[in-house]
Structure 1
Amino acid sequence: MTDSQAERTTLRRDVLTLPGVAVGAPDPLPPLRPLDELHELDDRSKQGMPRDMARQIGYEKLRSVLPERLKNGYGRERAPLTLDTLVIENDRLRVTVLPGLGGRIHSMFHKPTGRELLYRNPVFQPADFALNGAWFSGGIEWNIGATGHTTLSCAPLHAARVTAPDGGDMLRLWEWERLRDLPFQVDLWLPAGSDFLHVGVRIRNPHERPAPVYWWSNIAVPEEHRVLAPADEAWHFGYERSLRRVPVPEFDGVDRTYPLSGEYPADYFYEVPDGQRRWIAALDDDGHGLVQTSTDLLRGRKLFLWGHGAGGRRWQEWLTEPGTGGYAEIQAGLARTQLEHVRLDAEGEFAWLESYGPLSAAPDAVHSAEDWAAARGEVEECLEAALPRADVDAAYEAWRPHADTEPGEVLAAGSGWGALEVLRGDFKLPGTPFDESTLGPSQTPWIDLLRTGSIPEPRRVGPPGPTLVAPYWRDMLETAPAQPLTEYHLGVAQWHAGDLAQAVRSWERGLELAPSLWPLLRCLAVADQEAGHRERAADRYAEAFDDLCQERRDDGEAWTAATAALGREAIDALLAARRPGPARAVWDRLHAATRARGRFRLVEARLLIAEGDKEAARAVFDEGFEVADLREGSEAIAELWAHLAAPGERLPDQYDFSMRPRES
């Protein structure tokens, strides 16, 4: 089909309505504790791996999610939810994007065959999988930052219309990623008459120092498909925290390219040989499905599967709607594995192009049980026929000059943090404008610090806003007048930098004149916990919660979130110090709606056990509860159940979220 015969590519706004829940207010307490990261390795796994891989696994691991806040204010009672979408469409594909949710591609519909190419989640249900909490499954997400799902999973991105290399419309998404302090962009280009969506990605480092970079494009596909990639070996990561090289497709007598063949959740990072075309595909019983390919910079390919075990099945139900089918993830990244971070030189950039589209191959070859090379070869030949490797390279070269094109019509707005950083650093970032019009209340204190050298004290008490922790902001805080709010922010920045003693001194200085004590007391309580001072931590938590209860002005979202977050931490600290009485006093002052949440029903069961009332704690389990923000890999429910179960009594299915074999 010629360009003149093809239907013109269009880009338009639309809305999507589906059952869902709001993400809710962020946790107002700064996340001071070390990152709860599942992807840690035992020492044995680090032996014998390639030198570059070992170096990148140890390079600039993330200590915390500061300056981000945790997002855990969602529940599980769904109602019709309307989401803004952007739709880019030609006569072959219709691609639906969620600009307010990390720029996620929600759907990729192939018109000629009537097939949805992705796993399209029929609900919007946040769960605690992102580095900072709220995440949801389905579609294609853009993971930048550090090992794990991006903090932007449930955050808005800037979006605008841009002229594509072929003269049509291209959708640009961009934001400032705050964990690594880097701007990035994602350009969605759907040429007229094309079966393939091209995605140009650029990450820039505008600073005068190198930066660690992490990127994985994460594609959800139906789990009944076979996953194929050009590799004979893979690095297998199990959630017992081991990494080992295994053969593909079969090891331990099981073909692992079928996501339902394994029992437990697992990652398979394919060892794609140098010089080999980069691609990964997921194809159904008839040989139909999705293929993703890219220019060579995006070297890694991965399969994540939930498996057929009870825990994996429960997670599948948890993240979507029971009875609607499960999903697996095929992914593409800058490194071999997701445990690695790649160095980006000062004032340098990474740029590449990915392509996504339908693929059909001979099913007998695709599902050959005896000949993996033939199965791979069939897919590669069909891919080359549908989208030659040379065409991907040519599309990259065509897109590259357009990466600097200034956006036209603004279609959605992201955060104001990028505008603040551009204002501070006077950065020139062609193609990704961070306009001062996007600055908001969260940035206001920091604009004052930048322009006047000080942060004004608030006119009325309330939970403090977010803290900036990058070295240059920390330097400004250190030279600012030593007011209580400044000392609070300075302590958080010093804590993030690893200067724990100085952080404690800053918080203690802030206490001397602070009208609001609880934020500083809570920070000092965390410091006590990390130093092993359990009793003093409990004292400070109890004092902080008392102060908060006296100070809170209403039952609005901000104060309710602060009360819930601080109350939960205070009860944990008091129970750790074996003080169930004061813990009960904290519980009684929580809002009734907070106590009814699933997370707090679990807290209540712990409290009842500490009070010696196992029968009442067991009744909490028997009545049933759902911990909406249960962390990926958490075993808290099973561990508590072990204190209550009769000998030989198994964990009820509704509470079984196991991601690894249970220790005997």
Structure 2
Amino acid sequence: MSAPEGSLVDRDVDRDGVRAIALRGTVLDVVVCPDAGGKILDLVHQPTGVNLLWRNPRVPVQMTHAGAPFDDVWCGGWDELFPTDQPCELDGTIYHDHGDLWIGQWDWKVEQDDGDAAVIYLRRYSASLPCLMERWISLDRDALQLRVRYRLSNEGVRPVPFVWNVHVAHAIHPGSRVHLPAQTVAAVPPYTGRVEPGRDDVPWPGPGGDDGDLSLLPAPDSGLSEYFFTPDLDDGWCAVTHPQHGIGLGLAFDRSVFPRVWLFGAYGGWRGHYFQLTEPSTGVPGSLADNVAAGFAAELVAGESLETEVVATVLTDLEDPAAVLQAAARAG
């Protein structure tokens, strides 16, 4: 399918029977599913035909609903997790598995589509908190960057604590690598993989070599699963590259908003899948209740809004991902 002449937006998109919308540039082809939790489903580099986002081969795209276990209906792609990761109860409120923004439909409209650039606006209220999440997903015709601008507003009368993750699932291959501006990572049981359980100061990426370089992702027959997070970041970016394809995907973000990155990798282990999650996050692994108790929960004052942007860049020069991502972020 293609967008109408003089347009980048294709409104006539179907994924497994679910309505979707596409932004079709000359370099990137992006599919968004407002009816399936507002996820970004595909991010395809058209010159190579590579979809940088992982799609679950066993779970179709579907309209989600309250009460559904996230892992059982997760079809991959890019989701927004808010206001928790793990389910919990806090101050009498029950918080859903992986939050509640992925549940149900997002309202949307096309704000710009002039042949040179396109912007889709999406909005969704949290079910558990008096908060509104707004997103502007932007693509220029010839760009390697997809820009996602956010505004999170507290419409209540009290401050609200929250955990927010930009939950991006990367399609990976043997030889793929994770890049992080971090000196150490902490391992999260039980998914410690190549790391000794209980370590919270694992050098990143490690001493090197096939067994000592944590940035080099294991093969799908390793049967491993790994869950790490960065206690500290030197800068606001992360990336996954695929040298065998000469391509990668990086995220640039505001480190003052997302001070940590969570990494969850399934290398033939968890449910037999093969993917890598990178998750810029406001908190640490666990639930909102865990983060409140440990002092890591973010907070939004009543009547105020938090605005930020995440820039996703398809990397075609893999020599220095940091420089490319920093330049892309500054260009915004």
Task: Tell me the TM-score normalized by structure 2.
Answer: 0.77
Alignment partner for residue 283 of structure 1, among 238, 241, 250? Answer: 241
Once the two structures are superposed, the pairs formed by residues 428-443 of structure 1 within 5 Å of their partners are none
**How far, CA to CA, are the matches of 2:57 and 2:12 in structure 1?**
17
Alignment partner for residue 86 of structure 1, among 21, 30, 43? Answer: 21
**Residue type at the aligned position of 2:147:** H
- Counterpart position of 2:78: 140
Answer yes or no: is 1:328 the counterpart of 2:268. Answer: no
**How far, CA to CA, are the matches of 1:214 and 1:166 in structure 2?**
37
- Counterpart position of 1:14: 12
Once the two structures are superposed, the pairs formed by residues 546-625 of structure 1 within 5 Å of their partners are none
- Counterpart position of 2:110: 161
What's the offset of the Cα at 1:264? 4.4
- Counterpart position of 1:206: 155
Alignment partner for residue 325 of structure 2, among 375, 383, 387? Answer: 383
Once the two structures are superposed, the pairs formed by residues 67-466 of structure 1 within 5 Å of their partners are 81-125=16-60, 132-134=68-70, 135-148=73-86, 149-163=98-112, 168-224=117-173, 225-239=176-190, 244-250=200-206, 254-260=212-218, 264-273=224-233, 276-286=234-244, 287-296=246-255, 297-309=257-269, 312=270, 315-316=271-272, 326-335=274-283, 337=285, 339=287, 340=291, 341-362=297-318, 378-384=320-326, 387-391=327-331, 395=332
Evaluate the alpha carbon distance shift between residue 94 and residue 351 of structure 1 in structure 2; reply closer, same or farther with a 3 A threshold: same
- Counterpart position of 1:489: none
User: What SS class does the counterpart of residue 239 from structure 1 fall into?
Assistant: strand
Deviations 1:184-214 (A, max 9, x none): 1111011232110100111110112100122
What's the offset of the Cα at 1:272? 4.0
Query: Contact (CA 8 Å) 1:277, 1:389: kept in 2 or not?
Result: no
What's the offset of the Cα at 1:168? 4.5
User: What SS class does the counterpart of residue 216 from structure 2 fall into?
Assistant: coil
**How far, CA to CA, are the matches of 1:201 and 1:294 in structure 2?**
11
Runs of at least 4 residues of structure 1 off by over 4 A?
125-128, 164-168, 240-243, 261-264, 336-339
**How far, CA to CA, are the matches of 2:299 and 2:212 in structure 1?**
37
**Residue type at the aligned position of 2:249:** L
**Residue type at the aligned position of 1:136:** W
User: What SS class does the counterpart of residue 244 from structure 1 fall into?
Assistant: coil
What's the offset of the Cα at 1:133? 1.5
User: What SS class does the counterpart of residue 84 from structure 1 fall into?
Assistant: strand
What's the offset of the Cα at 1:107? 0.6
Deviations 1:504-541 (A, max 9, x none): xxxxxxxxxxxxxxxxxxxxxxxxxxxxxxxxxxxxxx
**Residue type at the aligned position of 2:321:** V
What's the offset of the Cα at 1:263? 5.5
**Residue type at the aligned position of 1:232:** Q
Query: Contact (CA 8 Å) 2:7, 2:115: kept in 1 or not?
Result: no
**How far, CA to CA, are the matches of 1:237 and 1:298 in structure 2?**
19
Query: Contact (CA 8 Å) 1:300, 1:337: kept in 2 or not?
Result: no
**Residue type at the aligned position of 2:28:** L
What's the offset of the Cα at 1:244? 2.1
**How far, CA to CA, are the matches of 1:115 and 1:193 in structure 2?**
17
What's the offset of the Cα at 1:163? 3.7
Choose between structure 1 and 2 for higher RCO, CA contacts under 8 A separated by at least 6 residues. 2
**Residue type at the aligned position of 1:144:** F
Evaluate the alpha carbon distance shift between residue 256 and residue 343 of structure 1 in structure 2; reply closer, same or farther with a 3 A threshold: same
User: What SS class does the counterpart of residue 201 from structure 2 fall into?
Assistant: strand
What's the offset of the Cα at 1:304? 0.4
Q: Going by fraction, where is strand more abundant, 1 or 2?
A: 2
**Residue type at the aligned position of 2:153:** R
**Residue type at the aligned position of 2:276:** A
Percent identity over paired residues: 20
Query: Contact (CA 8 Å) 1:302, 1:331: kept in 2 or not?
Result: yes
| Larger CA deviation: 287-296 vs 207-216 | 287-296
Query: Contact (CA 8 Å) 1:298, 1:352: kept in 2 or not?
Result: no
**How far, CA to CA, are the matches of 1:150 and 1:268 in structure 2?**
20
Unaligned runs of 5+ residues in structure 1 are 1-6, 18-80, 318-325, 366-377, 396-664
Query: Contact (CA 8 Å) 2:311, 2:328: kept in 1 or not?
Result: no
**How far, CA to CA, are the matches of 1:281 and 1:131 in structure 2?**
32
**How far, CA to CA, are the matches of 2:198 and 2:109 in structure 1?**
43
What's the offset of the Cα at 1:279? 1.0
**How far, CA to CA, are the matches of 1:147 and 1:271 in structure 2?**
17
Task: Tell me the TM-score normalized by structure 1.
Answer: 0.40
What's the offset of the Cα at 1:113? 3.1
**How far, CA to CA, are the matches of 1:259 and 1:119 in structure 2?**
15
Computed over aligned residues only, the root mean square deviation of the Cα atoms, in angstroms, reads 3.2
Evaluate the alpha carbon distance shift between residue 213 and residue 388 of structure 1 in structure 2; reply closer, same or farther with a 3 A threshold: same
**How far, CA to CA, are the matches of 1:379 and 1:308 in structure 2?**
27
What's the offset of the Cα at 1:165? 11
Evaluate the alpha carbon distance shift between residue 251 and residue 350 of structure 1 in structure 2; reply closer, same or farther with a 3 A threshold: farther
- Counterpart position of 1:560: none
**How far, CA to CA, are the matches of 1:183 and 1:264 in structure 2?**
38
What's the offset of the Cα at 1:379? 2.2
- Counterpart position of 1:572: none
**How far, CA to CA, are the matches of 1:348 and 1:166 in structure 2?**
35
Evaluate the alpha carbon distance shift between residue 89 and residue 308 of structure 1 in structure 2; reply closer, same or farther with a 3 A threshold: closer
